[in-house]
Every structure is written in C-alpha cells, then in structure tokens.
Structure 1
Amino acid sequence: MLNSARNTLFDRYLGISRLLAGHLDFTSIIKAVADEISHIIPHDHLDVCIKQIDGKYHIAYESGLETAWSKHPPALLTGSPIRTLLTGEVDFLLSANACTDPRFHFEGAFASPILELRLHSRLHVPLKVQGDVIGALSCSSRASDCYTMEDVENARAVADLLAPYFFALRAAEQAKRSAVIETEASAREEGLRLGALKLTEALEAERQRIGMDLHDQTLADLTRLTRRMERLTDLVSVPGDALEPLCRSLQQCMQDLRQIIEEAKPTVLQLFGVAEAIETHLERSVRESGQPIEWRMSDESDGSLRELDPTVTVALFRIVQEAVNNAIRHGRASRITVRLQRQERALCIDIEDNGQGMTECRQMTGHGIDNMKTRARLISARFEIGSNPAVGQGGTRVRLVLPTDHHVLAEV
C-alpha cells in the first residue's frame, strides 16, 4: 500500500514535468500544473510569486481563486505577506489560520486577499536555484489547519521541479524587456540623429543660399560703391587722403566677405570632392595666416570619398576645416598634416599638428570641438581628439573614423 502511494506520487511529479514543456509564460504554466499539484497538495488557491532580478519587486501568478495579487503590477517585496520567505529569513511558512497569523499582517502588508477570500490554511516554500531564492510556491485552503509537515516536504519537491523552469523564463523575459528597451532607445536615437541630420542639411543649403545672395547682391553693391569712391578721389574738391583710408576699409570688408562666402559655399567641395576641398582650404588658410607653416596633405582613400553622400562629405569637410583653423589660430602650429586613409570597413581622417596642444588652447577651441563632435555623431562617425603621438610634447591629433558599412554612406 505504501509503495503504491509512493508510485502514485512519483507519477504526479512526472506529470508536472511533462506539463512544463511547451509553455512559455508563467500564467499558462501555473494553470497547466495546478490540477496535478492539487492531487499532491489539495488547495483552493495556488500561486507562484517570482522575484524580479533587481530583488526589490515581485509578481504573483495564480490559479483557482482570483485575487488582487495577480492583478497588481510588480509590488515591493517589503509589502509581501511572505517577505521573510522571499528574503531567505525562513525556509518555509506553515499556518493553520493565516487570517489571524501576525506573520502575514503587519504595517504595509498586502494581505487583504487573505481576509477577503478567507484563506485560513497557508503553506509556502521557496523556489531556489543554486541556493538563491527566486520566488515562492504557495498553497492555500479555506479550511483551517489542513496542512502538515508532510505537505511541506511534498511542496518542496514540487518547487524543485518548477524553480529551474521559472528561472529560465524570468531570464528570458528580462532579456526580452532589455532588448525592447534597447531597441526603442536605439530607434529614438536614430530618429533624433536622422532628424538632426536633415536639419543640418537644410541649414547647409540655407547657408549656401545666403552665400550666393551675399555674392550676387551685397558684394556687388560694395564693389560698385568702392569704384564710385575711387572716382571721387580724382575730384579736386575732395582731399585724396581723406577717402583713401575709407577705400582701404571697404576693400578689407570685401575681402572678409569673400572669405565668408567661400566658407558658406565651398565650391571646390561641390565640384571636385572632399580631398581637393580639404587641400585647397589647407593651402589657403596657411597662406592667409602669414605664418611659416609647413603643411602636407595625403589622400590614400582609393577614391572612396567620392562615393559618400553629399551630406556626409559636407560634414567631413567642416570637421577638417575646424581642426585646421584651430591648429593655425589657437595651436600656433608650424607643421600641419592631413591624411585620408581607407582602412578595413572604415575611412579614417587624421589631422595632426605640432602646436601647443589641448592643454594650452582648450578654452579657446571648446566650442569648435563640440561642433566637430556633433557633426561626427550626426553621420555616425567616431571622433577622437588628443595629443599628437608623433610629437614629443604638445601637438594635437584629431581623428575621424567613418564606418563604410553604415547606411549613411549610401542613403541618409
């Protein structure tokens, strides 16, 4: 007779193991195994409480009588009637009348379902994986004093069957939530990046339009005004030395305006590409600085720069333009090198100088550096700035690495 009872109990455990297969959520598992468990431990209410990975919250999944426990969102562990079990302070909880048991009723305890459904007898055992408590298996009955230590042992055996499966489900759900959060964050970031890129493209177009307007209207007006003033100097009634300074000032304004127009509308970039535009800017900037600066530009990109989207080429040019200007105006460099390289699955641009370095000119170039970082981020390029390893002391190296397999190369 005893062997027959043991065999029946063993069959129930096997039945629970078989029922676990194929279920991918906590609720369906509880409902699937509840009937088999009822043959081992009779109950009116069955629930499994699962601790969240953070250890601060828990969620209840139930079968049989419906309570507010399963309808409630993740609740604080500190308010659980079985918190001592979930925190590992006790190894089981067994109560003949949970409605009056002070262990379940304390300030802040979420124990109202016990009283509302008159769950007198309660049995709770932990779900453990590798010694860690991940939750609890709870059986409740409306009858008083109906569970014994034998039921506790049987519940532990059931809990040992359920725990690994629930542990794997919890890990899978956490991974799924993390993946969803990460995907949503990436989508938001990509949406912001593309929005900012389109805005930058629109601003660049507007910048070029303003440059053309300045050239066609303002510069032309200044040119006519200068010529009229030059003719005035021929009049006897007007002292030449009075108008000459004004003419020089106008010519200087026109020169400055031409520089602004050239920067606003980089014609060389549009006609010949990034490499030629960078070289032209480097040569002109050094020449106009009036300083004895040695410069060198090398293009080892194998023509890859010509395949870039126009928005990307403008961003690259602007970054190099800012780096070169910083080296001349703030770094006081006597040597500047720009190198374009094709690397494995990436394009790399290095701007190196032997100037004062980041420590001396950080405050003056901070805003420009932020602009370079922003432009690089908009085209999904990696931006680095630091000391020039080719110089013993001082010097600055700006490095820009653009992945060639990024969508921004083909479509923006």
Structure 2
Amino acid sequence: MLSPAPATLLDHYLGISRLLAGQLDFHSAIQSVAAEINHIIPHDHLDVCMIMLDGKYHIAYEMGIETAWGQPPPAPLAGSPIRAVLWGEEPFLLTADACIDPRFHFEGAFSAPIQQLSLRSRLHVPLKVQGDVIGALSCSSRAADLYSIEDVNNAQSIADLLAPYFFALRAADQAQRSAIVEAEARAREEGLRLGALKLTEALETERQRIGMDLHDQTLADLTRLARRIERLTHLPEVTGETLEPLSRGLQQCMQDLRQIIEQAKPSILQLFGFAQAVENHLDRSVSESGAVIDWQLTDDTGGAIDSLDQTVSIALFRIVQEAINNAVRHAQAGRISVRLHLVKSNIVIEINDDGRGPGISGKRTGSGLENMRTRARLISAKFDIRENIEGGGTCVTVLFPMISRPA
C-alpha cells in the first residue's frame, strides 16, 4: 500500500496525540482517532484490544464494521485469534488473507467474524508500556493483500502513541470498578446493620406484644388467685369445694399461657395467609369455649390483604384475634362474623357479634381494648369500636390505608 509522505505522517501523528487529550473512556478515545488512523492505514475495521488486569481476559473497542469481538462480556485471552501478539510471542501479525491463514484458526479460536465479514487483510501490533504488552492495535480490510511491513511499522508508531493513554484509561477504569465494589460492600454492610436494627426492633416489638398479652389476662388472673390463696391461709379448714375455683383459675391461666406461646411460633398466618389464619382462630376459639356460636368469615380483598408487609399483617391479625376472643369469652355472643374487604385504597376489617355491647361487657374496656388501639396506631391504621345499632352487640372496625403502608 502507498504510504503517506513523512511530513503528512507527522501531522497525522500529532493529530492523534491532540485528539486523545481529554477523552475519558475507551470508546470515545478510539472514536476520536479513527479518522486520523484511517489516513495512515486505510481499514474497514479497527479495534484496540485491551488485556484485563487478571491477564486472562481481554475486551475489544472497535470502529468501522461491528463484530462479535466488540460485544461484552470480556473473552478469554486463550481464544483470541491474535493471542500470539497479546502473549508477547510475536512482535506483530501480518497476513494477506486471514480467511485462509491457519494462524487465525487454531482450535478454540474465536475467529468467526473473520469468515463472516471477509476480513482478509489484517495487521496487528502490540500496545506496550514499560516493556509489558497491555493490548493490541488491529486494522483489517476486506481487500486481500493490502498491507505491507511498512504499514506494520506505521501501525506500531500509532500503537506507541495510544499505549500510555489507554494504560491510564485502564487504570482509571479499574479504580472506578474498585470504588464500585467498595461502595457495594459498604452498602451490604449498611444493609446488614439496618437488618440487625430492624431485627432488634422486631424483637422489642414482640417482647412488648408478649408483655401486653400477659398483662391483659394472665397477670390479672394470677393476682386474683394469689389473693384468694392468701385469704384461704386464714381459714381454719380448707375444703375441696373452696379449692375448686382456684383449680379452674389455674387451668384458665395455663390455657392463656399456651395461647401466648402458640402465637409466638410461626403461625398459619405466615404459612397460609390472613383469611385462613382468621378462620382457624375463629374455629378454635368457638370450639374451645364449648358454647354454641355461629360464625362466618368473608374475604373480599382479592388477595390484597396477603400482599401487606408482614409486620402490618401480624398487627392486623392480633387485633382481629383480640376482638374474636372478646366476643367469645365476654360478650356471650351467639353469632360472630368477620368481613375483609376493600374500600378504595383501604383494607377494611369488620368484626361483628350479637352479644352484649361494649358498654355492658366491662372487660372489653380494659387492657385488651387499649392493646388493639395501640397496635392499630403503630401501623397507622384507624380503629373503631361501637355498639351495633341493629340487633345489638359490638362492631370492631380496622381501616388500613395501603398507600401509606409503613416500611
């Protein structure tokens, strides 16, 4: 191929140096100098192949014809058709027709683009910094026998201009990757810290819940039993009839403790969903009471209630649980209904019974009611308890706005 005059070559080399200045990434750098290189070495395809710091992979940045060589991810160095140059085994590669040159088609070579795009004339020279090969400059043409040894020398001069700049870009890219890895590590560490904090908060919340559950019933019952036992110590004789209420009270305390322990374990709520958990609690509470109580559960949420955050779901379930317990234990209800439905963007839960109203059943106005209010307040839900206008009994309503669900 006819080479440019020395003065013209110098102008192009100076142009390459000038155009490289200020380029901050590989793609923009190769794009900025491609035209100047084409004046020196005409080509259909140009690429700069960079060896990654691990020495095992390389990646190509190309101009002109797009090939699979320029597609991520980085490819193994051992499969490169120009590995002899990249490994420093050859000072350059020059071929009149790469389509039939066996040096480019060894076993395992990724040489398909050569055949697919008829890249016949090819030359490859190393990019070196302080004697180490960091990559290669490659020029290819669809015309056969286009390049000469003089073109190889010109290409090497270009490569010597590019090498320090591309070396600096590689170092900057590696520093950026390291910074990203470090930032991701810090983010994971922060995530673990926040996770531990949330776990601590969850444990504290659970501790408070157990405390409320114990206070609601068990502690009060044990206090009453202790006072009865104290009075019995002053009697000259204690009969079996006198001890019978104490036995029943202790059995009730044990039943309450079993229920608290059961609630602390992974529940049906977590395994099968909200409606199933409520249905299970309704059935068990009514069965254990021994009373004849008709109950009904209706779920019209279309599965939305099971999409809630677990913390919210558990809080709502505890409120429903307490309302059902009140209806079964204290209201003397003959019928209990629970309805789950949607009103605009709100989940609404209604628990109705036909027993004694909230003003008559004194135990409904104690700690159990306050616990329901507290649980609702903690998840930003609205809580209401009122006497049914028709048919008597009590209606407990909880409204949770899904848009403003807590994190």
Q: TM-score w.r.t. structure 1 length? A: 0.53
Q: Match for 2:19: what amino acid?
A: L
- Structure 1 residues 355-408: Cα deviation after superposition (integer angstroms, max 9, x where no partner): xxxxxxxxxxxxxxxxxxxxxxxxxxxxxxxxxxxxxxxxxxxxxxxxxxxxxx
Q: Counterpart of 2:99? A: 99
What is the rounded CA distance, in whole Å, between the counterparts of 2:188 and 2:194 in structure 1? Answer: 10
What is the rounded CA distance, in whole Å, between the counterparts of 2:138 and 2:81 in structure 1? Answer: 11
Deviation at 1:235, TM superposition (A): 4.1
Q: Which moved more, 1:140-149 or 1:40-49?
A: 140-149
Q: Counterpart of 1:13? A: 13
Deviation at 1:57, TM superposition (A): 1.5
The 5-angstrom pairing of residues 218-367 of structure 1 reads 218-238=218-238
Percent of residue pairs bearing the same amino acid type: 76
What is the rounded CA distance, in whole Å, between the counterparts of 2:144 and 2:212 in structure 1? Answer: 91
- Structure 1 residues 57-102: Cα deviation after superposition (integer angstroms, max 9, x where no partner): 2111111222221134311111110112112222211112211111
2:157 aligned with 1:177: no
Aligned pair in 2 of structure 1 residues 202, 72: CA closer, same or farther (>3 Å)? closer
What is the rounded CA distance, in whole Å, between the counterparts of 2:14 and 2:233 in structure 1? Answer: 111
Please state whether the residue corresponding to 1:103 is helix, strand or coil. helix
Q: Match for 2:53: what amino acid?
A: I
Deviation at 1:25, TM superposition (A): 1.9
The 5-angstrom pairing of residues 386-405 of structure 1 reads none
What is the rounded CA distance, in whole Å, between the counterparts of 2:111 and 2:126 in structure 1? Answer: 19
Q: Counterpart of 1:127? A: 127
What is the rounded CA distance, in whole Å, between the counterparts of 1:202 and 1:36 in structure 2? Answer: 65
What is the rounded CA distance, in whole Å, between the counterparts of 1:113 and 1:131 in structure 2? Answer: 30
Deviation at 1:120, TM superposition (A): 1.6
Q: Counterpart of 2:73? A: 73
Deviation at 1:191, TM superposition (A): 3.4
Q: Match for 2:60: what amino acid?
A: A
Q: Counterpart of 1:143? A: 143
Deviation at 1:29, TM superposition (A): 1.8
What is the rounded CA distance, in whole Å, between the counterparts of 1:217 and 1:32 in structure 2? Answer: 80
Deviation at 1:237, TM superposition (A): 4.2
Q: Counterpart of 1:160? A: 160
Aligned pair in 2 of structure 1 residues 154, 206: CA closer, same or farther (>3 Å)? same
Deviation at 1:215, TM superposition (A): 5.0
Deviation at 1:209, TM superposition (A): 4.2
- Structure 1 residues 213-265: Cα deviation after superposition (integer angstroms, max 9, x where no partner): 535643343233233234334444459xxx9xxxxxx9xxxxxxxxxxxxxxx
Deviation at 1:123, TM superposition (A): 0.8
What is the rounded CA distance, in whole Å, between the counterparts of 1:20 and 1:129 in structure 2? Answer: 17
- Structure 1 residues 339-365: Cα deviation after superposition (integer angstroms, max 9, x where no partner): xxxxxxxxxxxxxxxxxxxxxxxxxxx
Please state whether the residue corresponding to 1:109 is helix, strand or coil. coil
What is the rounded CA distance, in whole Å, between the counterparts of 2:99 and 2:62 in structure 1? Answer: 19
Please state whether the residue corresponding to 1:100 is helix, strand or coil. coil
Can you give the 5+ residue segments of structure 1 that lack an aligned partner in the other structure?
244-249, 251-412
Aligned pair in 2 of structure 1 residues 102, 203: CA closer, same or farther (>3 Å)? same
Q: TM-score w.r.t. structure 2 length? A: 0.54
Q: Which moved more, 1:98-107 or 1:221-230?
A: 221-230
The 5-angstrom pairing of residues 82-97 of structure 1 reads 82-97=82-97
The 5-angstrom pairing of residues 107-126 of structure 1 reads 107-126=107-126
What is the rounded CA distance, in whole Å, between the counterparts of 2:107 and 2:178 in structure 1? Answer: 34
Deviation at 1:53, TM superposition (A): 1.6
Q: Match for 1:187: what amino acid?
A: A
Q: Counterpart of 1:51? A: 51
What is the rounded CA distance, in whole Å, between the counterparts of 1:101 and 1:49 in structure 2? Answer: 20
What is the rounded CA distance, in whole Å, between the counterparts of 2:117 and 2:46 in structure 1? Answer: 13
- Structure 1 residues 94-139: Cα deviation after superposition (integer angstroms, max 9, x where no partner): 1122111111102221111111222222111111112221110011
Please state whether the residue corresponding to 2:123 is helix, strand or coil. strand
Deviation at 1:37, TM superposition (A): 1.4
What is the rounded CA distance, in whole Å, between the counterparts of 2:111 and 2:131 in structure 1? Answer: 27
What is the rounded CA distance, in whole Å, between the counterparts of 2:31 and 2:209 in structure 1? Answer: 69
Q: Counterpart of 1:37? A: 37
Q: Match for 2:64: what amino acid?
A: G
What is the rounded CA distance, in whole Å, between the counterparts of 2:212 and 2:54 in structure 1? Answer: 60
Please state whether the residue corresponding to 1:49 is helix, strand or coil. strand
What is the rounded CA distance, in whole Å, between the counterparts of 1:140 and 1:94 in structure 2? Answer: 10
Q: Match for 2:147: what amino acid?
A: Y
Q: Counterpart of 2:61? A: 61
What is the rounded CA distance, in whole Å, between the counterparts of 1:140 and 1:212 in structure 2? Answer: 79
Q: Match for 1:35: what amino acid?
A: A
Which is higher, the Rg of structure 1 or of structure 2?
A: 2
What is the rounded CA distance, in whole Å, between the counterparts of 2:193 and 2:42 in structure 1? Answer: 59
What is the rounded CA distance, in whole Å, between the counterparts of 2:8 and 2:187 in structure 1? Answer: 55
2:198 aligned with 1:198: yes
